[in-house]
Structure 1
C-alpha cells in the first residue's frame, strides 16, 4: 500500500487541493480566478434603461393604456417610445392579440362581393403589371393584388386591391387605426391615424397565424404542458398541430363568413401534441388526400362534414382569460 501511495505522489508534482474554494477555477493573472463578466453588463443596462425611461416619459401623452405602461416599465430593456411599448405588449400577450384581432374582424364583417380566392403561383401566369409593384396606378390589375398563393395563409380581404380601405384602416381586420397602432380612440380625436395601416395587436396576431411554432411555449403553458390528444406530459419535441387541417378548410369551408374562417388559424384550431402523435395524424391525413386524388375528386370537392363546430367545441380552454 505504501508503494502505491508513493507512485501516486511523484516528486515535483503537487496534488491540487480539492477542498479549496478555487478548485476548478481557471487561473488568471496573479494566480487568481478570472473575473465574472456578468456584473459589467449591469451598469450598462441600468444606464440604458434610465435613458429609455426618461425618453418614454417625455413622449407619453396624457392618456395611455395603463397595462401597456406597466408592461414596458417591467421589461429587462425598457422600450424608449410609446409605439415600441405597445408593440412589446402585444408581442408578449400573443393569445390575447389573437382573440382581439378575430373580434375586430367580426366587427368589420365580410366585405360585400368578397370570396376566398388564391392568386396565381407565378408572375408570368398572372401577367405583367403595367403599374409596377405597389404603384397603385390605373393600369394595375387589382383583381390579383394582395391574393395569397397558398391556402395555408389566412384570408385577408382588406389586403386585396378591390377591398382595400387605405391608410388609417387595418388591412387585417378592417377597423380604424389610432395613435400608436391602438384599436380604440382613447384620445378622442375622432379620426384614425392616416400614417398607419396595421393595428399593433393585428400585427402580432398575423405573425402568430402564419408561424404558430414561434409561440409553442405560450401554447404549452395554455394546455398545462399536457398533450392535447393523449393527455400525457408534453415532451421537449412536442409540435403544434391544426386540429382541422388547413387543406380541409380550403376544400370544405370556403363558403363560411370570413370572420369565422379566421378561427381555423387562431387558438381554437391549434393544439400542441407529442411528435409521435403528430406523425401518425399527418400520415392519416396524407392517406386521406391521396385516396381523394385516386378517386378523381376535384380539389374543391367536399368530402367530409363541416368542422368549425368541432373546433370550437373541442377547445374548452378558449375564454376571456386566455393570454
Structure 2
C-alpha cells in the first residue's frame, strides 16, 4: 500500500510540473493588459488615419460616435456606416422621410418579378441584402420586369426598377441624391451628387432593418420599454418581432397606396415585439384567415385573394392618394 501511494504521489508531481501556468496560456491576469495594449495601439493608428482623411466639414454626431467606439473606424465612410448601423431606428425614419420627399414615380405600381410569389428568390440588392432578399439581377435594366422583387415580403423600391432608375449619384432605395461618404445632405456645398455612389448609408441600414427586423430585436425592445405590445407583460428573452399588419394583407388590400406610405409597413410603425406565445396565437389566427380566403376562391395569380384596386391612375382619387 505504501509503495502504491508513493507511485501516485510521484505521478501527481509529474502532472503538476507538466501543467502550463494560467498566465502563460493567455487566460490569466496578464491577458487583459495585453489585449488592452493591442486595442490602444490599433485605435491610435485608426484615429490618426481618420483625422488625416477627415474633410473640413463632417457631421459632428458621426465623429463623436466614431471616437467613442471600442474599435475606432479608420475612415470617414466607415464612421458614417457605423453611425447608422448603431442608430437603426433613426435610419428607418430618415429613409422613409427621404422616400416621401422623392414621391412615387409617375406610372409606377407595385408589381412582382416574373415568377414572383409568396417565396423569395435570389438576386442582388443593396449591400447586406441576403441571398433570399427577393431581388432580381439588374443586368439589362431596360428589359421588362428587371429590378422587380420576387416576393411581396420585400419592400417595394421603384428606383431599383429599370424604367424608373435614376442611375449613379442617386439612392436606389429612396431616390434622393447621394453625397460624400454616402451622406444624404450636401454639407460641403458642391451642388453635385457623388457619381460613384448608388445608395445612402442610412438607407442601406434601413433596408437591412426592413428585410430582417428580428436582427434588431434589442433596439425594438428598448423602444417598447421591454413590455409586450399585445399583453403588456414583461418581454421574455424568447420574445419575437412581428408585423402588426401582416405583409400578405398589405399586398392584398393596401398595395394601391402611394409608395412612401407602403414603406411604413416594413418600418417601425408596423413592427412590434411580442412574447412567443402571443406571436404563435397571432400566427395561427392569420393562417386560418388565409386558409378561409383560399377556400373562398382567391383571384387567379393573387397569393391570398384579390388585391386592393390600384388608385394611382384614378382621376377621382384625392390628393396624395394617387
In 1, Cα distance between equivalents of 2:103 and 2:22? 73
Shift of 1:297: 2.4
Shift of 1:29: 4.1
In 1, Cα distance between equivalents of 2:66 and 2:60? 10
**What is the number of equivalent residue pairs in this alignment?**
269
Going from structure 1 to structure 2, the CA distance change for 1:297 and 1:63 (only over 3 Å counts) comes to: same
The equivalent of 2:47 in structure 1 is 53
The equivalent of 1:92 in structure 2 is 86
List per-residue Cα deviations over 1:236-293 (Å, max 9, x = no partner).
Answer: 1000000000000000011100000000000000000000000000000000000010
Shift of 1:40: 1.4
In 2, Cα distance between equivalents of 1:81 and 1:145? 35
Identify which of 114, 137, 144 aligns with 1:120.
114
Summarize the alignment of residues 105-254 of structure 1 with structure 2, pairs less than 5 Å apart: 105-121=99-115, 134-136=138-140, 142-254=143-255
In 2, Cα distance between equivalents of 1:62 and 1:30? 49
Going from structure 1 to structure 2, the CA distance change for 1:176 and 1:40 (only over 3 Å counts) comes to: same
In 2, Cα distance between equivalents of 1:117 and 1:171? 17
Going from structure 1 to structure 2, the CA distance change for 1:295 and 1:187 (only over 3 Å counts) comes to: same
The equivalent of 1:307 in structure 2 is none
In 1, Cα distance between equivalents of 2:239 and 2:77? 34
Pair 1:35 & 2:28 matched: yes
> Cα RMSD between the aligned structures?
2.2
The equivalent of 1:301 in structure 2 is 306
* Structure 1 counterpart SS, 2:264: helix
Question: Normalising by the residue count of structure 2, what TM-score does the alignment of the two structures yield?
Answer: 0.79
Shift of 1:30: 10
Are the equivalent residues in 1 in contact too, given 2:84–2:201 (CA < 8 A)?
A: yes
In 2, Cα distance between equivalents of 1:268 and 1:248? 16
Going from structure 1 to structure 2, the CA distance change for 1:277 and 1:45 (only over 3 Å counts) comes to: same
Going from structure 1 to structure 2, the CA distance change for 1:32 and 1:85 (only over 3 Å counts) comes to: closer
Identify which of 54, 60, 63 aligns with 1:66.
60
Are the equivalent residues in 1 in contact too, given 2:155–2:263 (CA < 8 A)?
A: yes
Shift of 1:141: 5.3
Shift of 1:120: 1.6
Are the equivalent residues in 1 in contact too, given 2:240–2:275 (CA < 8 A)?
A: yes
User: Which sections of structure 2, spanning at least 5 residues, go unmatched?
Assistant: 10-18, 117-136, 309-322
Are the equivalent residues in 1 in contact too, given 2:43–2:72 (CA < 8 A)?
A: yes
Shift of 1:35: 2.9
The equivalent of 1:318 in structure 2 is none
Question: Normalising by the residue count of structure 1, what TM-score does the alignment of the two structures yield?
Answer: 0.79
In 2, Cα distance between equivalents of 1:40 and 1:266? 43
In 2, Cα distance between equivalents of 1:31 and 1:259? 58
* Structure 2 counterpart SS, 1:297: coil
The equivalent of 1:258 in structure 2 is 259
